[in-house]
């Protein structure tokens, strides 16, 4: 094993960076002498414990829970790697925790669960929830992710957020708002087609409808999701109930004919003929990684605005633009949950960051733009207060 580790360290710098993990726990108070020890631990700590036992809400003030998030996965849908299990998913969860801290100032703890059973996942998260101010579900495969999130929202009074769904949706809406502005259109004028009816596709469709999109149709491997199909899961049946006002029933290629927007969260390749059939001045958000459904070289032949999920092309749809600020805002006001209104507020704030700088290559800010997280944080906190889910 030592020889194998040495060889990996020699040939690939990624292994050197990850050696020993990418995180550590750091104290926020000194323990330099007996007086410090007596305050940080016994006997001083007993006073705080007793007070919290009498008034449990004091834990938000006198422990770290009000600013710490659990990043929870079962390792079944990790990045583009698929079902690689809990141990192999830990480097990604550590990375997610680093992003929470770097971009939102929020502490996060990666937790990988050795089960894929929804009941066991829900039960485990409920039992550990008193240690955290929020739960970020990560890389859990559909359709179980929908059930797990919904059940946890019902059982817990802290924010529960499946980032693969809602983070993607928030950033997509923000970019689409700016793309519409750039082309002198409103969301209400646009007809969108989403390729992919998994976690991200469903959440994107929902937030676009909430935000007032003209129409949106979602496709899976069998074509457009519509209420005339008899093979739909419960999730897709619900999806059919609020999308596809135009009554489309064909394939993805057929749905793209005359469409204003393509949003890809599925992988695969869209034929160039189908791309060419889209409306003039269309918008193409091909977000599969590492291979977009429509390569930018093809997309730019037909589209006014092109976005991908990759960092080496302009307009990257990157979840890190959303989740750190969303949780920072929710935790700041001790919100009991994250609502659709809070997500839309986050998208509007994110879009506004670059609203005065728009170009075809800039409809969404860079994750390194220092304006992003504060803008999202403030918008989410304000929306939480307006919707009555803030507790301070």
Q: Which pLDDT tens digit goes with each residue over 97-152?
A: 999 999 999 999 999 999 999 999 999 999 999 999 999 999 999 899 999 999 99
Whether residues 133 and 172 fall in one domain = no
Return the pLDDT at 6: 78
**Residue bearing tokens 């204003």:** 260
Q: What is the pLDDT of residues 196-234, one digit of tens each?
A: 999 999 999 999 999 999 999 999 999 999 999 999 999
Residue 80 or 175, more confident: 175
Please state, for a pLDDT cut of 90, what percent of the chain lies above it.
90
Is 152 found in the same domain as 262? Answer: no
The confidence band for 1, taking pLDDT boundaries of 50, 70 and 90, is: low
179 in the same domain as 149: no
Judge whether 18 lies within some domain: no
The mean of the pLDDT values for the chain is: 95
302 a catalytic residue: no
320 near 99, Cβ under 8 Å?
Answer: yes
Count the residues in the chain. 392
Angle among Cα 382, 166, 160 to the nearest 5 degrees reads 70
Is 246 in the same domain as 321? yes
Q: What is the mean pLDDT of residues 10-27?
A: 82
Is the domain of 283 the same as that of 358?
yes
Answer yes or no: is 144 within a domain. Answer: yes
Q: What is the pLDDT of residue 3?
A: 77
- 207: CATH: 3.40.50.720
Residues near 24 by beta carbon (within 8 Å), at least 6 away in sequence: none
Whether residue 26 lies inside any domain: the answer is no
Say which of 22, 47, 96, 245 is annotated catalytic.
96
Q: Are 127 and 215 contained in the same domain?
A: no
User: Directed axis angle between helix 323-332 and helix 85-104, to 10°?
Assistant: 70
Segment 284-309, tens digit of pLDDT: 999 998 899 999 999 999 999 999 99
Alpha-carbon span 31 to 78, nearest angstrom:
39
pLDDT for 12: 81
Q: How many domains does the chain have?
A: 2
Residue with tokens 């101010």: 133
Q: What percent of the chain has pLDDT over 70?
A: 100
What's the average model confidence in pLDDT over 73-92? 93
- Output the pLDDT for position 26: 87
Contact between residue 341 and residue 166 where contact means Cβ atoms under 8 Å apart: no
Distances, alpha carbon 25 to alpha carbons 21, 28, 52, in Å: 12, 10, 23
DSSP H stretches of helix in 111-242:
118-128, 144-155, 163-182, 199-211, 234-242
CA 191 to chain centroid? 23
Cα distance between residue 73 and residue 163, in whole Å? 11
Q: Is 1 a member of any domain?
A: no
Q: Which of 158, 176, 207 is the last residue of a domain?
A: 158
Q: What is the CATH number of the domain that holds 71?
A: 3.40.50.10380
Q: From the CB of residue 102, how many other CB atoms can be counted at a distance below 10 Å?
A: 14
Of 158, 187, 203, which marks where a domain is finished? Answer: 158
pLDDT-derived band of residue 8, with 50, 70 and 90 as boundaries? confident
Q: Does one domain contain both 91 and 192?
A: no
What pLDDT is recorded for position 212?
97
Residues 85 and 207 in one domain: no
Task: Summarize the annotated binding site for (S)-malate as residue ranges.
Answer: 289, 318
Confidence of residue 273 (pLDDT cuts 50, 70, 90): very high
The DSSP code sequence of 372-388 is: HHHHHHHHHHHHHHHTT
Q: Does any domain span residue 390?
A: yes
Instruction: Indicate if 93 and 205 belong to the same structural domain.
Output: no
**H/E stretch holding 220:** strand 215-220
Residues with Cβ < 8 Å from 57, sequence gap 6 or more?
none
Helix or strand or coil: residue 231?
A: coil
Q: Is residue 25 part of a domain?
A: no
**What is the CA 125 to chain-centroid distance, rounded?**
19
Say if residue 320 is in the same domain as residue 184.
Answer: yes
Closest to 73 (Cα-Cα) out of 58, 84, 60, 59: 84
Range of the domain at 103: 63-158
2 within domain boundaries = no
Residue 338 lies in a domain: yes
Tell me the C-alpha distance between 43 and 270, whole Å. Answer: 66
**Distance, CA of 81 to CA of 89 (rounded, Å):** 9
- The alpha carbon of residue 381 and the mean position of all alpha carbons in its chain are separated, in whole angstroms, by 18
The pLDDT, as a whole number, for residue 23 is 82
In tens, the pLDDT along 319-368 reads 999 999 999 999 999 999 999 999 999 999 999 999 999 999 999 999 99
Catalytic residue among 41, 222, 245, 301: 41
pLDDT at 224 (0 to 100): 98
Q: Is residue 389 domain-shared with residue 250, that is, in the same domain?
A: yes
145 plus 184 within the same structural domain: no
Q: From 115, 142, 158, give the residue that closes a domain.
A: 158
- The yes-or-no verdict on residue 11 having pLDDT over 80 is no
């Amino acid at each position: 094993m030592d020889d194998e580790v040495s060889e990996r360290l020699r040939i690939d710098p990624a292994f050197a960076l990850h050696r020993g993990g990418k995180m550590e726990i750091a104290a926020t108070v000194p323990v330099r002498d007996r007086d410090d020890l007596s305050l940080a631990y016994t006997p001083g700590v007993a006073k705080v414990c007793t007070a919290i036992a009498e008034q449990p809400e004091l834990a938000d003030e006198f422990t770290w829970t009000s600013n710490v998030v659990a990043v929870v996965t079962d390792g079944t849908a990790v990045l583009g790697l698929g079902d690689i299990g809990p141990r192999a998913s830990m480097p990604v969860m550590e990375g997610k925790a680093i992003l929470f801290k770097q971009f939102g100032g929020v502490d996060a703890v990666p937790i990988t669960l050795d089960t894929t059973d929804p009941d066991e996942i829900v039960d485990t998260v409920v039992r550990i929830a008193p240690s955290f101010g929020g739960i970020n579900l990560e890389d859990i495969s559909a359709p179980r992710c929908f059930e797990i999130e919904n059940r946890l929202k019902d059982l817990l009074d802290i924010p529960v957020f499946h980032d693969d769904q809602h983070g993607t949706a928030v950033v997509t809406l923000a970019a689409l708002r700016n793309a519409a502005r750039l082309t002198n259109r409103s969301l209400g004028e646009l007809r969108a087609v989403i390729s992919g009816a998994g976690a991200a596709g469903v959440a994107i469709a929902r937030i676009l409808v909430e935000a007032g999109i003209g129409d949106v149709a979602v496709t899976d491997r069998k074509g457009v999701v519509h209420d005339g199909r008899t093979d739909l899961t419960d999730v897709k049946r619900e999806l059919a109930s609020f999308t596809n006002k135009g009554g489309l029933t064909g394939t993805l290629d057929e749905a793209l004919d005359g469409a204003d927007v393509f949003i890809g969260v599925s992988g695969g390749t869209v034929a160039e003929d189908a791309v060419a059939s889209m409306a003039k001045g269309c918008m193409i958000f091909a977000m599969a990684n590492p291979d977009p459904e429509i390569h930018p070289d093809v997309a730019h032949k037909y589209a006014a605005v092109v976005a991908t999920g990759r960092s080496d092309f302009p307009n990257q749809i990157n979840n890190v633009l959303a989740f750190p600020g969303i949780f920072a805002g929710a935790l700041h006001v001790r919100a009991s949950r994250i609502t659709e209104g809070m997500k839309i507020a986050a998208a509007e704030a994110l879009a506004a960051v670059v609203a005065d700088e728009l170009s075809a290559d800039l409809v969404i800010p860079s994750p390194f733009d220092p304006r992003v997280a504060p803008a999202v944080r403030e918008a989410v906190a304000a929306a939480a207060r307006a919707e009555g889910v803030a507790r301070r």
